[in-house]
Amino acid sequence: MIRDNRNLLCAASASLRLCGLYTFSKRLLALLLLIPALAFAQSDSATSRAWNQPVKPYRVIGNIYYVGATEVSSFLITTPQGHILLDSGFEETVPLIRDNINKLGFKLEDIKVLINSHAHYDHCGGLADLKELTGAKLAASEADAALLANGGKGDFQWGDTFAYKPVTVDRKLRDRDTVELGGVVMTARLTPGHTKGCTTWTMKVEEGGRQLDVVFVGSASIPGYKLLGNAKYTNISEDYAHTFEVLKGLKCDVFLGPHGSFFSMKEKMARLEKGEKKNPFIDPQGYRDYVERAEKNYRDQLQKESRAKGGK
């Protein structure tokens, strides 16, 4: 989801300006023709457009390929019996994903399973379309299934602001459940807080004769949330605390996530293109640094809210 509350407010206000009667310019009319439904027009903010620019697809490591956009990730995990796709980006990201999969020599219709990191519109907005296009089954956390079915409406933080096409979960997952296809085993680790069912996915790959642990972190950011006395998510603080314990306990060689900036994607892509021999996505320190920063932000906010309430 939007990681900075100021960016969120700017995105929302930009969307309202786009939809205002006084802004009906030629540019707006052309833009509206490209948007399938006005109900989803909020994803057309300056921020989301920047996040949704095309990226040349590439092999990350082993059988994991990046098929997403500049900032909203989508990962294709290939197997001899069909493929798994993690996250859809926005609804508008689907054509980019389709083209990227084709460029890599794979077929969209060979996707058998869709999985999700969390039920925010920038990571699941295209799941309904992808499910229809591929016939794949969607597996997602039990706690996020209702939000997905509601199309993002009724979110504890955003209400109905960031809606998307509703999508039905075929298999509801709990902590440590696995998704298996063609010899690939992906394990769902529930890391709630960012959403009530935010999910970190783990798997193993082989590269250069080594077996490596891959972590697709869900998200541990706190974009303007209230941690203490949150009536719509009463145990949010405890959930975040649990999440950091889980993340710190995971073995990680390859660090990936739902936003490219989480795992320094642009920099690592540039290193790949330069022909760097060591795969830059093998980055256990980067993962530890990410978790440490996120936990510090959590503790700092807890302290700030506690002080505001007169605590120590």
Catalytic residue numbers?
118, 120, 122-123, 194, 225, 259
φ, ψ for residue 242 (rounded to 5)?
A: -60, -45
Structure tokens at 111: 């996707």
Best CA proximity match to 2, nearest among 12, 14, 16 = 12
Contact 147, 154 (CB under 8 A): yes
Residue 188 phi, psi (nearest 5):
-90, 120
Please state the three-class secondary structure of 267-295 as a single string: HHHHHHHCCCCCCCCECHHHHHHHHHHHH
Do 140 and 197 touch, CB atoms closer than 8 A?
A: yes
Helix, coil or strand: residue 35 = coil
